[in-house]
Every structure is written in C-alpha cells, then in structure tokens.
Amino acid sequence: MTIREEIEQREERVLQPYACFSARSLGREKPEPSDPVRTCFMVDRDRIVHSKSFRRLKHKTQVYISPVGDHFRTRLTHTLEVSQIARTIGRGLGLNEDLIEAIALSHDIGHTPFSHAGERVLNELVPGGFRHNENSVRVLTRIEEGRYGRGLNLTREVLDGVLYHNGYGEGGPRSRTLEGQIIFYSDKIAYVQHDIDDAIRANLLRPEDLPRECLEILGYTHSQRIATLVTDTINHTRLMAEQSPGGSFKVGLSPEVGQALTRLRDFMFENVYNGDFCTAEKDKAAFIVEYLFKYYCSHPRKLPGFYAQIASQEGLEIGVADYISGMSDNFCLAIFSEVYMPQFSPGIKFDNSQ
C-alpha cells in the first residue's frame, strides 16, 4: 500500500460522509498516473503554489494601488487569509482540507492588475466580457504550462470551486462540493474584514465610523468579527446538515450574521470602494489598462511569443487580454511608462553652451 492510499483510507475514517474524498475525485481532463505519496488534491495544491501566476499575486493590488507601506494587503496575502479561514471552517465541518486549500490558493489567480478596476476595463473591451473567476480557470487550464501539456491539469473539483467562488447573495450558482462553497464564504469573510483594517490604516475610516448595529452582532475588533463569522458558518452549516439527512444542504451563515456581513460590505462600498480616494485611483488604473489594451491591439507584433500564438489561434483581443491580465501592478506600470512616456535617446547630443 502506498502512502497516498494510506492517506485516502484515513480520509474515509475521519471525514464526514458529505465530504469530497480524494479517492472518489472526478479526475482530470488528461489522465495521469497517481502520485505515490500525495492525494490528487495535494498534487493540485503543490502545482498551484509552484506556478508563475501564483507568485505574481504578491504584486497585484487588493484594494489600494501601489500602497506605501508593507502592511497593506495584496492579492497574495488576501489569498493566504482566505485559505486560513477556509481551512478552519473545513476542519470544523469535517471536510477535505487539501481540496479546500487548493481552491483557496488558486481562486484569484486570474485577477487583473489593479484589482477590479482592471477587470471592469477588460470586461468592457474583450468580446464576450471578462470575469476574473472564469479567467482564473483559463489560467489554470490554458495559460500555465505543466508537464501534461497546456495548463496544470488540475482536478475537476478544484476548477469547479474556483469558477464558483465569487458573487454575493444566495441566488447564484454554487460549487458542487461543500469545500468549494466554503471558499465562497471565506472570500467574503476575509476581504470585508481586512479591507476595513487597511482602510483604517490608510486613514480612510475610523473604528467609530463602522455601523454599530453590525459590530454588536459581529464584534468590535478584526479578530472578533472573523471569529464570529467562522464560528457561525460552522454552526449554521452543521445545523443544516442535521436537518438534511439526505445530504442536500449548502454551506452558509445564519440569517442574522449573514445580514450583518452584507450590511458591513455595503458600508465598505459606500464609504471606501466607491469613495473619492479609491475612485480617483481606479480611474487612473482604468486609463492605464485601457491604453495598453488598445496599444497591443494596434501593435500585435509587440506581444510576447506565447500571447501572439494565442492571438493567432483565438483572436487578437483574447491574446491581449491574457497578456495584460497576467501582469502584476508593477509590471503593468513599467510597460505603460515604456510605451506611453517619451524616451530619451542616448544617441542624441545636446549643445548646452548657449
């Protein structure tokens, strides 16, 4: 018996019946030999962590564009916070933490530079629109190149969780696994709370500005609010499981706590995300992304070879969108400066004698 098989048998003994078991995975698009040590979801997690797109998240914006200071969140630190929250919820529910971690680490891997400002521009310019969750799946299946051809050849369960991680409210489609549904809620729990923390650090908010009715339910500190939301997700989902012996239930928050989180999120949109400071910064970012998109559409020979190949196969706009969406904020700013700003030619000699 291999170590992987021992781990798979341990899952059968320890996890809840409604968990997603590694040995019962729906598999990969391209079949490949099983790893002797790692389960399929552990393999997925490792491929994600070692990918170039994952490393670029450290220089992609969460909310504030190129913030001064080391303590503001980036897309990478957001991803790590989502993973930590999700694994805690998953352990409390007896679900597969390896699957949870793989989805969490890859859920935003297709985000554009400058966060949702870049996404909105590409959504307007790319035929068929642009959504970061769908682009994350595209990065994992097309852009990143693994040993088995195009993409990382991840399991269907991970790709499903990534595709359905975003949105808000209860009416939209959800991941087919409870592990994927955990990422949907962990993403909201993480960003609302850490964006409050960053807004206070940036002097855009004061703690006393937060709606008191939300704090009375969720807590008055960052850690208290996360603890409340995590605990409520576990307890409410357990209750739903008990009331649905057939297993047809979903991960979720209790109505009171869920409404408080929604109200707090709405407050952040009204006062921070759509506030004067962030709106001005988003306008600058949007200008840069739109300029570069139109520049490369007008100068397709400037595209790097890989993206030029995509452009020839799938259309110029798709190739340009793939190239720009993979850029970090810093790289995007550098390329913009290179193509937009006048460049001094060292071959020109100036006479300063007069």
Residue 37 has pLDDT above 90, yes or no: yes
pLDDT band at 170 (very low <50, low <70, confident <90, very high): low
Between residues 157 and 282, the one the model is more confident about = 157
With pLDDT > 90 as the criterion, what percentage of the chain qualifies? 83
**Tokens of residue 85, six digits:** 């929250």
Residue 352 has pLDDT above 70, yes or no: no
Distance of CA 312 to the CA centre of its chain: 28
Range scoring the smallest mean pLDDT among 44-58, 63-77, 165-179, 253-267 = 63-77
Query: Residues 55-84: what's their mean pLDDT?
Result: 85
What per-residue string of b and e applies to 311-328 under the rule 16 or more CB within 10 Å gives b? Answer: beeeebbbbbbbbbbbbb
CA distance 315 to 319: 7
Quickly list DSSP for 169-207. Answer: SSSS---SSHHHHHHHHHHHHHHHHHHHHHHHHTTS--G
Query: Residues 7-13: what's their mean pLDDT?
Result: 98
Query: Residues 142-160: what's their mean pLDDT?
Result: 86
pLDDT band at 281 (very low <50, low <70, confident <90, very high): confident
pLDDT band at 348 (very low <50, low <70, confident <90, very high): low
**Tokens of residue 48, six digits:** 């994600």
**Tokens of residue 87, six digits:** 């694994």
Between residues 150 and 224, the one the model is more confident about = 224
Residue 146 DSSP class? E
Query: Residues 313-334: what's their mean pLDDT?
Result: 96
First to last CA, the chain: 86
pLDDT band at 246 (very low <50, low <70, confident <90, very high): confident
For 199-243, write each residue's pLDDT tens digit.
999 899 999 999 999 999 999 999 999 999 999 999 999 999 999
pLDDT band at 137 (very low <50, low <70, confident <90, very high): very high
Residue 148 has pLDDT above 60, yes or no: no
What is the Cβ-side half-sphere exposure of residue 161, based on CA atoms within 13 angstroms? 34
Between residues 318 and 342, the one the model is more confident about = 318
pLDDT, position 67: 58
Between residues 313 and 348, the one the model is more confident about = 313
pLDDT, position 185: 97
pLDDT, position 71: 77
pLDDT, position 331: 94
pLDDT band at 66 (very low <50, low <70, confident <90, very high): low
Residue 349 has pLDDT above 60, yes or no: no
CA distance 234 to 187: 15
Single pTM value for the model: 0.94
pLDDT, position 167: 78
Residue 174 has pLDDT above 70, yes or no: yes
Please state, rounded to an integer, the average pLDDT across all residues of the chain. Answer: 92
Exposed/middle/buried for 111, CB within 10 Å: 0-12, 13-18, 19+?
Answer: buried
pLDDT, position 73: 87
Range scoring the smallest mean pLDDT among 69-78, 126-135, 217-226 = 69-78
Residue ranges of domains in the chain, CATH in brackets? 37-337 (1.10.3210.10)
CA distance 44 to 9: 19
Quickly list DSSP for 14-83. Answer: HS-TTS--GGG---BSS--PPPSSS-HHHHHHHHHHTSHHHHHGGGSBSSSSS-SSSSS-BHHHHHHHHH
CA distance 135 to 97: 24
Residue 14 has pLDDT above 80, yes or no: yes
pLDDT, position 96: 98
The radius of gyration of the chain's CA atoms, rounded to the nearest angstrom, is 22
